[in-house]
Each structure stands twice: as structure tokens, then as C-alpha cells.
């Protein structure tokens, strides 16, 4: 396993901290420049999560909170690979997901949207990528919902992803959107990302080849984490 420092993060590709169309960012954005920190072991290492931590229903949001039947909504499979910037698979990556139910309602004390909770849907799940970087989980397609930003702002349907790679410097939280959703291009959170190509990379296409006939449609979502240098050269001292 290569274990060197990570390639510098391209901060012009990510959303800036201050993005005033997303109002909450206005007072939660650092104003001073980030200080560059060459990776030490503290950044190059990270927690390792084993497949033995997973329960049998952790990757099945249709079943893992069900009380007396399946949740309401469109049954889907989300699958893809976790890769690094060199295109290499990232095995052993813990992926945690959370989402609203089919009506666009989250199971959370502070949620106030009038759409109903689904008694059979919790909205959280997790899995760990395989040796080839692949992962999959089963869920219900989340609904779009209104949120208090502008007077009439709506979030496109989305699934939140939290990903651990091999080093703490790779830590990433992002959101997956669904192909064809017109709300994507109206969303003040999506548009914090300056580059259209970066947004398109967060939109999962419908994947008919992995769809289970008469059961669940599939969406493919690949995730790219930061790549890293090889230790072989990095630790060589000058003159060696």
C-alpha cells in the first residue's frame, strides 16, 4: 500500500467557505486564509474500519428501520466505486449515508416540513467498499423538499454521503443527486460549487444494466478521494 502525503486539494474545484446565496455560510465561513500544513503522520493516517463492524441490514435502508412493512416510495439501488485521483480503487472505505424519505421528510427532531414521517423508514445506512473499491446499498428514492433560505428554495432529491478513505486528510462529506432533476440547477447549495463539471460529477445516472427487473432501479455514483504520493520516493533524503 502506498502511504505518502496526499496531493494538494484543488480548492477552486470545491465550494468556497463563503457563498452568500447559501445564507447559513455567511457567518460560518472562516475569513482568514487556511494555513498550509505539509502532511505528517497525523494527516496521512486515519481510522481503519473492518467489515465486521457492519450488521446485515446496514446497507439496506428499505429494511433496517422497517416495523410492519416496507417504506413507501421508489425502490432503488445506489452503487459505484470509491477511487483515488489516480483512478486506483480505495478498498475498506467506510461510507455512511443519510436522506429524507419519499415525501422529502427527515426523521429529525428539528425538522418542520409538513410532509409525514414514514414509520418504516429511518433514513440512515452504511457500508464499506470492497477490494475493487465497489460498494452498494438499497434504499427509497428521497423526495425534494422546501427549506428556509430564500422564500421559495427547494432542495433537489439527494443522498448525503460521508466517506473515510485511508488518511484523515481524505475525509469528505458530499451529496449525490439524481439524473434529470430540474431542481439541481436551481439549488443554492449545489451552486456553491463553482465549476459545472464538478457538479455534474455529483449527479448519478440511471443505470439500467444494474437495475433489478420488476424490483428496483439502479443509480451509479462513483466517489473520488484525494490521491497520495508513494512513500518510496518521499522518504528518500537528499543525496541518497
Partner 1 sequence: MVQSLDRLKESASQTAGPYVHIGCTPNFSGIEGVFPQDLGASMLNAEARGERIRIVGRVFDGVGAALKDAMVEIWQADADGLYPSPQETRGTADANFTGFGRSAGDMATGEFIFETIKPGRVPFKDGRPQAPHVTLWIVARGINIGLHTRLYFGDEAAANEADPILSRIEHRSRVSTLIAPKTLEGGVPTYRHDIVLQGDKETIFFDI
CB-wise, 27 or 152, nearer to partner 1?
27
Q: Do strands 145-147 and 153-155 pair parallel, antiparallel, or not at all (unpaired)?
A: antiparallel
Q: How far apart are CA 142 and CA 156, in angstroms?
A: 9
CB-wise, 85 or 212, nearer to partner 1?
85
Q: How far is the CB of 235 from partner 1 (least distance, A)?
A: 9
Q: How far is the CB of 182 from partner 1 (least distance, A)?
A: 18
Q: How far is the CB of 214 from partner 1 (least distance, A)?
A: 27
The residues, any chain, with a CB within 8 Å of residue 229's CB and separated by 6 or more, are 2, 4, 5, 6, 7
Q: How far is the CB of 33 from partner 1 (least distance, A)?
A: 8
Q: Among residues 190, 203, 204, 218, which is the contact residue for partner 1, using CB under 8 A?
A: 190
Instruction: Tell me which of 106, 107, 201, 217 is the catalytic residue.
Output: 106
Find the binding residues for partner 1 in span 148-177 (CB under 8 A): 160, 162, 166-169, 171-175
Helical (H) or strand (E) element with 233 = helix 231-234
Find the binding residues for partner 1 in span 35-94 (CB under 8 A): 35-48, 55, 57-58, 64-65, 83-87
Q: Do strands 94-98 and 75-84 pair parallel, antiparallel, or not at all (unpaired)?
A: unpaired
Q: How far apart are CA 162 and CA 175, in angstroms?
A: 9
Q: What is the DSSP letter of 72?
A: S
Find the binding residues for partner 1 in span 213-232 (CB under 8 A): 223-227
Q: How far is the CB of 213 from partner 1 (least distance, A)?
A: 29
Least Cα distance to 94 among 3, 46, 162, 168 occurs for 162
Q: At 136, give phi and psi (nearest 5°).
A: -160, 150
Binding residues for partner 1, how many (CB under 8 A)?
88
**Cell 465549476 found at:** 195
114 binds partner 1 (CB under 8 A): no
- Residue 62 has a CB neighbour count (10 Å cut-off) of 20
Q: Among residues 79, 126, 138, 141, which is the contact residue for partner 1, using CB under 8 A?
A: 126
The residues, any chain, with a CB within 8 Å of residue 156's CB and separated by 6 or more, are 144, 177, 178, 181, 183, 184, 186, 187, 190
The reply to whether 145 belongs to the active site is: yes
Q: Among residues 21, 25, 134, 211, which is the contact residue for partner 1, using CB under 8 A?
A: 25
Q: Among residues 72, 75, 89, 107, which is the contact residue for partner 1, using CB under 8 A?
A: 107
Q: Among residues 98, 135, 145, 178, which is the contact residue for partner 1, using CB under 8 A?
A: 98
Find the binding residues for partner 1 in span 191-210 (CB under 8 A): 192-193, 195, 197-199, 201-202
The alpha-helical segments, DSSP class H, found in 63-151 are: none
Q: How far apart are CA 63 and CA 238, in angstroms?
A: 57
The reply to whether 14 belongs to the active site is: no
Catalytic residues: 106, 145, 155, 158, 160
Amino acid at each position: 500500500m502506498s502511504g505518502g502525503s496526499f496531493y494538494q486539494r484543488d480548492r477552486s474545484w470545491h465550494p468556497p467557505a463563503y457563498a452568500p446565496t447559501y445564507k447559513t455560510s455567511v457567518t460560518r465561513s472562516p475569513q482568514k486564509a487556511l494555513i498550509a500544513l505539509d502532511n505528517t503522520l497525523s494527516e496521512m493516517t486515519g481510522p481503519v474500519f473492518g467489515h465486521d463492524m457492519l450488521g446485515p441490514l446496514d446497507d439496506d435502508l428499505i429494511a433496517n428501520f422497517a416495523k410492519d412493512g416496507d417504506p413507501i416510495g421508489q425502490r432503488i439501488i445506489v452503487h459505484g466505486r470509491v477511487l483515488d485521483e489516480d483512478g486506483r480503487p480505495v478498498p475498506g472505505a467506510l461510507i455512511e449515508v443519510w436522506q429524507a424519505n419519499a415525501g422529502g421528510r427527515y426523521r429529525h427532531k428539528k425538522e418542520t416540513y409538513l410532509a409525514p414521517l414514514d414509520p418504516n423508514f429511518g433514513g440512515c445506512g452504511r457500508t464499506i467498499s470492497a477490494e475493487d473499491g465497489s460498494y452498494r446499498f438499497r434504499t427509497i428514492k428521497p423526495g425534494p423538499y422546501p427549506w428556509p433560505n430564500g422564500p421559495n428554495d427547494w432542495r433537489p432529491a439527494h443522498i448525503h454521503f460521508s466517506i473515510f478513505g485511508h488518511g484523515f486528510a481524505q475525509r469528505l462529506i458530499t451529496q449525490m443527486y439524481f439524473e434529470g432533476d430540474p431542481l439541481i440547477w436551481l439549488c443554492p447549495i449545489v451552486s456553491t460549487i463553482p465549476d459545472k463539471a464538478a457538479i455534474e460529477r455529483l449527479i448519478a445516472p440511471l443505470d439500467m444494466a444494474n437495475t433489478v427487473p420488476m424490483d428496483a432501479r439502479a443509480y451509479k455514483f462513483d466517489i473520488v478521494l484525494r490521491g497520495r504520493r508513494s512513500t518510496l520516493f518521499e522518504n528518500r533524503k537528499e543525496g541518497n
